Amino acid sequence: MTNEYRKTPEAVSALTDTQYRVTQQEGTEPAFRNEYWDNHEAGIYVDVVSGQPLFSSTDKYDSGTGWPSFTKPIESDAVTTTTDRKLWMRRTEVRSSGADSHLGHVFDDGPRDAGGQRYCMNSAALRFVPAEELEAQGYGAYRDQFDDDPTTTEENAS
């Protein structure tokens, strides 16, 4: 991973109120009322603050929780985790490694055949880049994750 993905004052000032609350104040958006919980398009999800690649649609699945859920990050060092003791319970918070944006939490109740992890993310912390736009938006290195038809929905979204 490169070190080019950082938080800048300009990027933070461009965030919507919801994006700011989620990424900078560790907020959570409503289940089932967020942009990507039901997105089945092929592509990658990047940090809304820095543009750092975080997750691929090939690892996205319907967890039934109402938030976008993934079995793993796009690169092992794309995210960091910390212990979160808010809400009177112990959870594992997920943050982007480049900009330190709050993304959501990871749980051990994901699909067993894919490692057992559920990265439960806030849509407000993410920006989706469709597979057919990866090269144009500077993410061509991830194009090989998708078949020849980038509009095909991922098979594991059921």
**What amino acid positions are annotated as catalytic residues?**
120
Pairing of strands 102-107, 79-84: unpaired
Helix, coil or strand: residue 105: strand
Rounded to whole angstroms, how far apart are CA atoms 120 and 113? Answer: 17
∠ CA 48-51-55, nearest 5°, is 85
Q: Give the CA distances from residue 144 to residues 36, 51, 72, 94, in Å, rounded to whole numbers and listed in that order.
A: 22, 19, 17, 26
